[in-house]
Amino acid sequence: MAVDGFGPYLKAFREALRSPYKGDKGGRPRLYVWEEVAIVQVIKRRVNSSLSIERRIAQGCAQLVEQLIKASQKAGGINTAFIERLNATFRQRLACLVRRGRALARQAETLRYGMFLVGDVYNFCTLHHSLRIGLWISERRIHWVQRTPAVAAALTDHCWSVQELLTFKLPIAPFVPPKRRGRPPKMALLEALS
């Protein structure tokens, strides 16, 4: 994960990407940070007319960061280009994320569902120029096959229409009753004792 110099990003990712440690003690479990997640930070400082760029590893080791860069970019270094492009896509397609806009997401669920819909349209319905494959027809002629990220990841075999995406039926998740907090009711205690 790559973030810019804004400090709360690091805190938010570290709080979100952790799991409880199941110990033998009672009470609230201690949380541990995922070791397989690497967070890098690019800090840009402008002093007068010069720009200084500091790249640092906020979480993870240098070897893990190098492996992830080779897997995603083949070559290069720590940068925020991909996350900035993703942020620009969300700002462009969701009215509540536009800078200096008047539309508001009054509830967190509105923003979450909007981002879910934009992400699905981006991955299943939008052709991406950088994901195309060249097929050679003859020695001098090439045919470019356009692909979506879902086609490139072998999740589907065609570019979906928005109507197909919105009418696709998902299986319902099994119901899991919420965990009851507090003291058990008296009837439950009497049933347990008998």
What angle is formed at CA 19 by the lines to CA 57 and CA 72, rounded to 5 degrees?
A: 40
Write down the residue that tokens 């998740």 correspond to: 173
For 42, the token pair is 């690019």
The pLDDT confidence band at residue 85, using thresholds 50, 70 and 90, is confident
Question: Which pLDDT score, from 0 to 100, does residue 127 have?
Answer: 92
Residue scoring higher pLDDT (119 or 181): 119
The model's pLDDT over 108-152, given as tens digits with 9 standing for 90+, comes to 888 889 999 999 999 999 998 888 888 888 888 888 889 999 999
Beta partners for 40?
2, 57
Q: How many helices (H) and strands (E) does the chain have?
A: 7, 7
CA dist 5 and 45 (Å) reads: 9
User: Quick check: 184 pLDDT over 80?
Assistant: no
Question: Which pLDDT score, from 0 to 100, does residue 120 have?
Answer: 92
User: Quick check: 105 pLDDT over 70?
Assistant: yes
Question: Which pLDDT score, from 0 to 100, does residue 53 have?
Answer: 85
The pLDDT confidence band at residue 162, using thresholds 50, 70 and 90, is very high
Residue scoring higher pLDDT (169 or 60): 169
Q: In the chain, what are the helix, strand and coil shares in percent, each to the nearest 5?
A: 40, 20, 40
The model's pLDDT over 15-63, given as tens digits with 9 standing for 90+, comes to 888 888 877 677 778 888 888 888 888 888 888 888 888 888 888 888 8
Question: Which pLDDT score, from 0 to 100, does residue 73 have?
Answer: 72
**How many CB atoms sit inside 10 A of residue 42's CB?**
19
Question: Which pLDDT score, from 0 to 100, does residue 24 have?
Answer: 65
CA dist 104 and 98 (Å) reads: 10
Question: Which pLDDT score, from 0 to 100, does residue 58 have?
Answer: 84
Question: Which pLDDT score, from 0 to 100, does residue 121 have?
Answer: 93
Ordered by start, the domain boundaries in the chain are 1-79
